[in-house]
Amino acid sequence: MKVLPRSFYSRDTVKVARDLLGKKLVRKIGNRTISGIITETEAYRYKDDPASHAFGGVTERNKVMFGQVGIAYIYFTYGMHYCFNAVARNSHYDAGAVLIRALKPELGIKEMFKNRKINSFNNLTNGPAKLTQAMRITKKQYGEDLTSSATLYITEGIKIRKIGANPRIGIKNGADMLWNFKIEI
DNA sequence: GCAGAGATCAGCT
DNA sequence: GCTGATCTCTGCC
């Protein structure tokens, strides 16, 4: 399956968020492969988006949002959780990223159960911090290049039907923008 | 089935 | 010192 090129990520952040639905997130650990179809995303932009981490300018945590597109932005939150984003924006913006909120597990489901230490299939990767745990994504993958990495990347996926647009989850400011996107499989 | 507490870090006031 | 792009476990409001 073809890895998404850099040009895929150098378009408007909201457009990239929609287009990532149905694509495949792949993670290699040793000789094992873990993968899943992306089923929910959220766009976070820059100065026009008060909910974005980049809104207030560069910090130690968010600096890759201002760097090259197609890079993994992973942040630590609530003292225990990691969330995974792909840096994406067009030339009108200096920062932007797409949060991957949910996956449909494909390969390596056994590994995911092990990583998550649970037994219910439904709770495997249906939340941003759940999928990072299932795929063993941590700060070590911060700044990884998704277009050239051998251990963490995104490829072409499946054809999708209808996309649902909703307010983003867990934010106060910017809740009027419908930048949460979802598909049913 | 749903509300509330707890975990405990980076960034802001 | 408080808040959050969260999840899990507990107890019944």
> What confidence tens digit (pLDDT) does each residue in A112-167 have?
999 999 989 999 999 999 999 999 999 999 999 999 999 999 999 999 999 999 99
Maximal C-alpha separation, chain A: 45
Q: d(Cα A81, Cα A74) in Å, to the nearest integer? A: 10
Taking only the tens place, the pLDDT of each residue in A69-109 is 999 999 999 999 999 999 999 999 999 999 999 999 999 99
Q: A21 pLDDT band (50/70/90 cuts)? A: very high
Within a domain: A1: no
Q: How far apart are the first and last CA of chain A?
A: 19
Within a domain: A62: yes
| Nearest residue to A128 via CA among A82, A73, A61, A70 | A82
Within a domain: A56: yes
Q: Averaged over A25-42, what is the pLDDT? A: 97
Q: A1 pLDDT band (50/70/90 cuts)? A: confident
Residue A32 backbone zone (phi > 0: left; psi -120 to 50: alpha; other: beta) = beta
Domain that holds residue A164: 6-182
The set of strand C positions with any atom below 7 Å of a protein CB reads 4-8
Q: How many structural domains comprise chain A?
A: 1
Task: Using the predicted structure, report yes or no on whether residue A185 has a pLDDT greater than 90.
Answer: no
A158 CB-contact burial (10 Å; exposed 0-12 / middle 13-18 / buried 19+): middle
| Nearest residue to A88 via CA among A184, A11, A175 | A11
Q: Averaged over A34-45, what is the pLDDT? A: 98
Please name the nucleotide lying closest to A61, CA to C1': B10
CA A167 to C1' C13, whole Å: 29
- Rounded to the nearest 5°, which phi and psi values hold at A129? -85, -20
Q: Any idea which residue has 């073809």 for tokens?
A: A2
Residue A67 belongs to a domain with what CATH number?
3.10.300.10
Please name the nucleotide lying closest to A169, CA to C1': C5
